[in-house]
Amino acid sequence: MKNVLIIGANSAIAEACGRLFAERGDALFLVSRNSQRLESLASDLKVRGAAATHTLALDLADLTRHQELIDSVKAVFPQTDVLLIAHGILPNQDECQASTEKMLDSMAVNFLSPVSLLNLWANEFEAQKQGAIAVISSVAGDRGRQSNYIYGAAKGGLSTFLEGLRNRMFKHGVSVISIKPGFVDTPMTAEFQKGALWAKPEQIAKGILQAIEKGGDNVYLPSFWKLIMLIIIHVPEKIFKKLSL
């Protein structure tokens, strides 16, 4: 049994991960903003086999409450074996371009919030000298595209932060995993037209748990996105800037 902290627990991918953690009998601490949905999820995961479920309703964009989160988790977990950070928003690119306030709000949720949490939790993991930190970034962070570069910039910055954190934590026996999903069919992408490249949250969740167990670094999910992004990254800028991506 492992002690697993899931931040952003009500997201579709996090819920799917929670079900897999519960089925193997882990103890779960769930954090999200919607307290009603959080309690419902905790009850469901307990029925599915979780050794214990704890919850904390929290607006993760409020950075002043991040230490409270750590204190709440440490009150019930002597140590945290797995930290999964899964919260985020997919902002409307056009609205962000028209409003600096909306652009900054999206940056706060997708970049500032996770790096604030990671900066605090890294010290905890460094002290305990074991564990796994998995964070959901995105393939959108690998190269800026006109259709979502504000979201992509936040994820790109997050991926760079994780790269440095991985370098720091390696010598302390802690794995830091950047999860880079491609297109995933979730409520956040409900308005998008789906195609062959789209995956289900359950598929992504299986990949996340495998990466945690094997200690992956940059994990593309599904794996074919690694090849797709390799191609996109290497398109010369002179050509890339003329494309409507």
pLDDT tens track for 120-153? 999 999 999 999 999 999 999 999 999 999 999 9
* Average pLDDT of the chain, as a whole number: 96
Q: Indicate which CATH number applies to the domain containing 10.
A: 3.40.50.720
Which range is least confidently modeled, 4-18, 78-92, 190-204? Answer: 190-204
Q: What is the DSSP string of 7-57?
A: ETTTSHHHHHHHHHHHHTT-EEEEEES-HHHHHHHHHHHHHTT-SEEEEEE
Quick: pLDDT tens for 82-96: 999 999 999 999 999
Is the Cβ–Cβ distance between 138 and 188 less than 8 Å?
Answer: no
**In the predicted structure, residue 17 carries a pLDDT above the cut 90:** yes
pLDDT of residue 244: 84
Per-residue burial over 118-134, b if 16 or more Cβ lie within 10 Å, else e, is: beebbebbeeeeebbbb
Q: How far apart are CA 88 and CA 110, in angstroms?
A: 5
Residue 154 in tokens? 């936040």
Is the Cβ–Cβ distance between 5 and 80 less than 8 Å?
Answer: yes
Of 111, 121, 105, which is closest to residue 31 (Cα–Cα)? 121
Q: How far apart are CA 197 and CA 156, in angstroms?
A: 21
pLDDT of residue 66: 96
Q: How far apart are CA 96 and CA 8, in angstroms?
A: 23
Instruction: List the domain range (segments joined by +) for residue 152.
Output: 3-241
**For residue 245, what pLDDT band results from cuts at 50, 70 and 90?**
confident
Quote the number of domains for the chain: 1
pTM: 0.95
Quick: pLDDT tens for 63-74: 999 999 999 999
- For residue 222, cis peptide bond before it (omega within 30 degrees of 0): yes
- Alpha carbon dihedral 213, 15, 157, 123, in 10-degree steps, equals -60
Q: How far apart are CA 57 and CA 62, in angstroms?
A: 12
Quick: pLDDT tens for 159-198: 999 999 999 999 999 999 999 999 999 988 888 888 889 9
pLDDT of residue 26: 98
Q: How far apart are CA 71 and CA 203, in angstroms?
A: 33
